[in-house]
Amino acid sequence: MEHLTLRTPDDWHLHLRDGAMLRAVLPWTAAHFARAIIMPNLVPPVVTGADAAAYRARILAALPDGAEFTPLMTLYLTEDTDPDDVAAAHESGLITAVKLYPAGATTNSASGVSDLAKVQGVLERMAEIGLPLCVHGEVTDPSVDIFDREAAFIDRVLDPLRRRLPDLRVVLEHITTSQGVDYVKAHDAGLGGTITTHHLVINRNHILAGGIRPHYYCLPVAKREEHRLALRAAATSGDARFFLGTDSAPHTDPAKLQPCGCAGCFTAPNTMPVLAHVFEEEIALDRLEAFASLNGPAFYGVAPNDGTLTLERGAPDLPPQIDTGDGAVTVFDPGFTPRWRVTARSAG
């Protein structure tokens, strides 16, 4: 097989940042993806409908001429979030989801939620109106080992939350463990799981063995090989509950390469080549479209894109870094040369 054509994919978990960084990274996503769920963890965060409307306008203004890309906005849930504001933003079509960051779990999560009881009213309202909650699934208890924080979150927070609010639609974002895969598989269509590009490729050895590699450091941190294999099996299974959320999270090299460096992998430019490579290795190229283009829309209750993206056999021609005006951002290095490159996108 020399060509691969699929419905234009969407990215159901993306960090675009703001200002010069936004202008530098957005074209890479808009080139291959028709829509993306935009994470709200700016400084200050995107908390209200008015914040989301203003951020959406900045994103649209930063799009290259002729780009066909729709940002799907999210609100950053805080303990002061007003249920009426959330409902109005949903009603007007402005937002697609609300994001739960446990306070302190990751980059710019300080304004997140410490006590879920304080957001019960918002969550009840979301369950009523069918607005999904995207969850950063890691406990923040410092006594829990960082490699166990996702599994602990499922037991301590996610499962009780879903029992309290069985009608709330939930996406367990960027799952990194077999426990995450198993939990999503054990439940119905009201629970989805996004999987990133990089967690299909790296395990924790890539970060730590033979020297420390800050560009592979992200949150949730990559786990043991057995977990990477569970994620590959889930992503390539065709199971509609699993879909692509790249978690492409650009930080400049100076911000990553320091004694306390930032978490995040910038995968927007090479996600589709890397995914095609991975799916071919798993003898599942015929399921790439489900993972990247069909399962996400089905979960969010929207139609898949009409257009198509075509990949051709051959190495992609991508820069190792992009310049942002704020500093260079390193493109995720999968450790192999992808066997596929993107060659065309049609509007459909």
The set of catalytic residues is 247
Single residue of 23, 32, 136, 223 touching ligand NCD by CB under 6 A: 136
Shortest approach of Zn ion to residue 136 CB, angstroms? Answer: 7
Q: Given the structure tokens 């166990």, which residue do they identify? A: 148
Q: In the range 77-116, which residues lie near ligand NCD by CB under 6 A?
A: 106-107
Q: In the range 28-47, which residues lie near ligand NCD by CB under 6 A?
A: 41
**Of Zn ion, ligand NCD, none, which one sits near residue 106, judging by CB under 5 to 8 A according to partner kind?**
ligand NCD
Tokens of 110: 């300080």
Q: Which contacts qualify for 232-236: CB closer than 8 Å, 24 or more apart?
A: 232/200, 232/278, 232/282, 233/181, 233/282, 234/175, 234/181, 234/184, 234/185, 234/193, 234/195, 235/195, 235/200, 235/278, 235/279, 235/291, 236/278, 236/279, 236/282, 236/284, 236/287, 236/291
Piece in contact with Zn ion (CB under 5 A), picked from 44-52, 68-76, 244-252, 287-295: 244-252
- CB-nearer residue toward ligand NCD: 4 or 171: 171
Q: What is the rounded distance in angstroms from the CA atom of residue 86 to the CA atom of residue 123?
A: 10
Beta-strand relationship, 170-172 and 191-195: parallel
CA dist list (Å): 332 to 45, 79, 222, 261 = 25, 34, 14, 16
Piece in contact with Zn ion (CB under 5 A), picked from 89-97, 179-187, 230-238, 240-248: 240-248
> What are the residues facing 346 on neighbouring strands?
308
CB atoms within 10 A of CB 5: 13
- CB-nearer residue toward ligand NCD: 135 or 161: 135
Q: In the range 212-271, which residues lie near ligand NCD by CB under 6 A?
A: 218-219, 247, 249, 263-264
**Of ligand NCD, Zn ion, none, which one sits near residue 46, judging by CB under 5 to 8 A according to partner kind?**
none
Single residue of 11, 247, 280, 289 touching Zn ion by CB under 5 A: 247
Single residue of 15, 32, 232, 341 touching ligand NCD by CB under 6 A: 15
Shortest approach of ligand NCD to residue 142 CB, angstroms? Answer: 17
**Of ligand NCD, Zn ion, none, which one sits near residue 98, judging by CB under 5 to 8 A according to partner kind?**
none
**Of ligand NCD, Zn ion, none, which one sits near residue 107, judging by CB under 5 to 8 A according to partner kind?**
ligand NCD
Number of residues that bind ligand NCD (CB under 6 A): 11
Shortest approach of Zn ion to residue 39 CB, angstroms? Answer: 5
Shortest approach of Zn ion to residue 250 CB, angstroms? Answer: 11
Q: What is the rounded distance in angstroms from the CA atom of residue 65 to the CA atom of residue 268?
A: 19
Q: Given the structure tokens 């990477």, which residue do they identify? A: 228
Shortest approach of ligand NCD to residue 136 CB, angstroms? Answer: 6
Best CA proximity match to 327, nearest among 238, 246, 266, 241: 266
Q: Are 201 and 278 in contact (CB under 8 A)?
A: yes
Shortest approach of ligand NCD to residue 173 CB, angstroms? Answer: 7
**Of ligand NCD, Zn ion, none, which one sits near residue 34, judging by CB under 5 to 8 A according to partner kind?**
none
Q: In the range 263-282, which residues lie near Zn ion by CB under 5 A?
A: none
**Of Zn ion, ligand NCD, none, which one sits near residue 56, judging by CB under 5 to 8 A according to partner kind?**
none
Binding site for ligand NCD (CB under 6 A): 15, 41, 106-107, 136, 218-219, 247, 249, 263-264
